[in-house]
Amino acid sequence: MSYQTIEYSVAAGIARLTLNRPERLNSLNTRMHQEVCHALAALAADTEARVLILTGAGRGFCAGQDLGERAVAPGGAAADLGESIERHYKPLILTLRRLPLPIIAAVNGVAAGAGANIALACDLVLAARSASFVQAFARIGLVPDCGGTWFLPRLLGSARAMGLALLGEKLPAAQAAEWGLIWRCVEDDELGPEVDSLAERLAAGPTRALARVKQLIAESGSRTLEQQLDAERDAQRELGYSADYAEGVAAFTAKREPRFSGR
C-alpha cells in the first residue's frame, strides 16, 4: 500500500507509525483507518520489530474522528456510527492491545475523542507538556468510544472518569501524569529524545517476556488472584526455557549488561 495519511518505518528493532494529516490535527478518516490497519498487520508479521512508537505529525497527536466524513443526515447517523466502530475502531483498539510487543504513544499535542483513547490503548504514554487529553464525545451528543469507558475508570477511578466523560474538559498532560492516566509528562523539546531513549531500551529488552507482562496485566482484571497466580506460573514456565532468560541469568552472574535476542 502507498501511504497517504500515515508514515511507517522499521529500523533497529523500532517501528514508527506517525499519523500524518497535520492540517486536520491527524483526525481519522477512512483512508487513514485502512493504512493504519495495513501497517499494523505488517508490524505483526515483522520478526525484527521489537517496539512500536505511535505519534502524530505537526502540532497534534490525533483529534479523533474526522467529523467532515460524518456530515450526514440525522436519520442515517446512528447506523453509520455503529458500523464505523465495528469496522474500524474496535479492531484498531484490540489490535493495539494484542500486539506482542510494547507500544509507546508519543503524544505531541492534543489527543481528543478517539485520539485520546487510542493513546490510552498503548502500553506507555509519554506526553509533551503542551499536550492535552479531551473526552470530547458528550459535546456532540455521543459517548466515549475506543474503550474510553473501559480505560478511564480503571486508570483513574469512577469519580474522575465520570467528570472527564460528562464534562469533556481538557486535561493538561501534567495533570494527566499526576493522576496516573499516563506514564510521564516531559518538556516539549524533550519528548522526541525521551521517546527514542525509551524505545531503544525496550527494543534491546527480552521481547517475549515484555509481551507476557503486557498480556498478564491486560487480563488481570478478569481473573481472581488464584487464577492470576496460575497464569504467572505458566508464563514463568514458558519463559524459563527462553534464550533471553538464559542470557539474563548469565549476564547477572557475570555482572555485565545482558544482550537479549528477543527469543
The strand pair at 51-56 and 14-19 is best described as parallel
pLDDT band at 82 (very low <50, low <70, confident <90, very high): confident
Give the C-alpha separation, 228 to 64, whole Å.
35
pLDDT band at 116 (very low <50, low <70, confident <90, very high): very high
Residues 194 and 228 in one domain: no
In a domain, 260, yes or no: no
For the segment 94-116, the average pLDDT, to the nearest whole number, is: 97
Residues 234 and 111 in one domain: no
Domain that holds residue 140: 6-203
Look at the block and give the residue holding cell 500486539.
99
Residue 77: the pLDDT is 53
Give the C-alpha separation, 26 to 67, whole Å.
12
Residues 161 and 71 in one domain: yes
Q: How many separate domains does the chain show?
A: 2
Bigger pLDDT: 81 vs 225: 225
Q: Look up residue 214 and give its three cell numbers.
A: 503486557
- Beta partners for 160? none
Residues 191 and 70 in one domain: yes
User: Is 35 within 8 Å of 7 (Cβ atoms)?
Assistant: no
Give the C-alpha separation, 70 to 84, whole Å.
10
Residues 89 and 216 in one domain: no
For the segment 148-159, the average pLDDT, to the nearest whole number, is: 97
Residue 68: the pLDDT is 81
Residues 214 and 250 in one domain: yes
Q: Look up residue 177 and give its three cell numbers.
A: 501524569
Give the C-alpha separation, 7 to 262, whole Å.
25
199 has pLDDT over 80: yes
Residues 148 and 41 in one domain: yes
Share of the chain above pLDDT 90, in %: 92
Residue 1: the pLDDT is 81
Give the C-alpha separation, 206 to 239, whole Å.
10
CATH of residue 243: 1.10.12
Instruction: Round the average pLDDT of the chain to a whole number and report it.
Output: 95
What order of strands is seen across the sheet that includes strand 110-112?
60-62, 110-112, 132-134, 170-172
Residue 70: the pLDDT is 67
pLDDT band at 174 (very low <50, low <70, confident <90, very high): very high
Residues 172 and 228 in one domain: no
Residues 90 and 130 in one domain: yes
For the segment 159-176, the average pLDDT, to the nearest whole number, is: 98
Three-class SS state of 167: helix
User: Is 12 within 8 Å of 54 (Cβ atoms)?
Assistant: no
In a domain, 246, yes or no: yes
DSSP labels, 186-203? E-GGGHHHHHHHHHHHHH
Residue 67: the pLDDT is 87
For the segment 191-209, the average pLDDT, to the nearest whole number, is: 98
DSSP 8-state secondary structure symbol assigned to residue 65: B
Task: Kindly compute the dihedral angle of the four CA atoms of residues 238, 242, 245, 251, in this order, to the nearest 10 degrees.
Answer: 170
Residues 18 and 48 in one domain: yes
| pLDDT tens-place string over residues 133-153 | 999 999 999 999 999 999 999
Residues 13 and 137 in one domain: yes
| pLDDT tens-place string over residues 33-70 | 999 999 999 999 999 999 999 999 999 999 999 988 76
Give the C-alpha separation, 212 to 232, whole Å.
9
Residues 216 and 98 in one domain: no
Low-confidence winner among 61-75, 191-205, 221-235 (lowest mean pLDDT): 61-75
CATH of residue 42: 3.90.226.10
71 has pLDDT over 60: no
